[in-house]
Amino acid sequence: MKDVYAAMNVSAMATEKIHIGSAVTNLQTRHPTVTANATTSLDDLSKDRAMLGIGAGWVALHSIGKMPDRLGTMRQGINEFRQLFSGEEVELYGTKVRLATARRQVPIYLAVSQPGMLRLSGEICDGAIVMGGADPEFCNWQLEYIYEGLEKAGRQRSDLIIDIVVTMSINDEEEKALNDVRAWATSQAATFAVWKKVPPAWERFRGEFTRAEKAYHYEEHLSLRAEHKQIVSQEFVESVTISGNFEKCIAKLREVAKLDFDRITFALLSGGRFRRLEELGTKVIPALREK
């Protein structure tokens, strides 16, 4: 199913407990009132299980010739959604509007990776969707900026749910597993190319980031057939993803699980998504629960 709102509504009708949200939308491709109304409708249908996942925009905006939103715009947009969900009057593009379908303050999760957005999530959001990679050193580097945001706003760690997004391929054939996750690794490398600051240990990958950004084809985003996925080195792929045989993958997942994250989200790769989902539920999660 290719439309996020259709997929979320179907999910709401087919489930009773899980929380459902976009991962993620942006401020430009839909008017804020359209996004807010769709989210409150989902919240009503799911009996208060909706969340709004939002980000600065990357593939969605670059694909239509637009640039991702800057930090100040994101702060303003999040505050406007707060007002809309509360039923308050808010001025958007010079017009005062109010969301007639407002019913409660739907949790807002911000997709974050760079220092500024990491801090912003700590300051004003209900949750942070941390992107970048499954490398413990890198993750801890990101967490420090979230803590700075929390401290600046006078908030407690318990005021924010921190979610880490990882991608994983379990396969006894190492090369096949790596090939599965290369597209994800390349997408992350392309975003890192514009970062002013990366962890010291990752400075050695700067050249790869630049090459990935120049070669990236947005119409092939995360495609397992994308030619640009060969741009990055095996070393970088192994740093930001989880791949290999079952034991190797579980060992790295356990390293990530020890960090200060509340949740781990698995990005389901194309090519056998139902098989991958079943594998997570029947093998991976039970293995992680074992002491």
> Where exactly are the structural domains of the chain?
1-106
Q: Where are the beta strands (DSSP E) in the chain?
A: 20-21, 50-54, 90-92, 95-97, 108-112, 127-130, 161-170, 242-244, 263-267
Check residue 230 and give its pLDDT: 87
User: Which are the contacts of 281, defined by CB distance < 8 A and separation ≥ 6?
Assistant: none
Which stretches in the chain have pLDDT values below 70? Answer: 291
Radius of gyration of the chain (CA): 19
| Sign for the pseudo-dihedral over CA of 46, 52, 53, 57 | positive
Identify the pLDDT of residue 291.
65
Q: What is the pLDDT of residues 35-61, one digit of tens each?
A: 999 999 999 999 999 999 999 998 899
Phi, psi of 92 (to 5 degrees): -125, 120
95-97 and 90-92: which strand pairing?
antiparallel
- Cα separation, 245 vs 172, in Å, equals 4
Residue 1 C-beta-side C-alpha neighbours within 13 Å: 9
Q: What is the C-alpha to C-alpha distance for residues 271 and 28, in angstroms, rounded to an integer?
A: 30
DSSP 158: G
**pLDDT at position 270, please?**
80
Q: Which residues pair with 112 in a beta bridge?
A: 130
* CA separation for the pair 171, 239 (Å, rounded): 17
What is the predicted pLDDT for the residue at 206?
Answer: 95
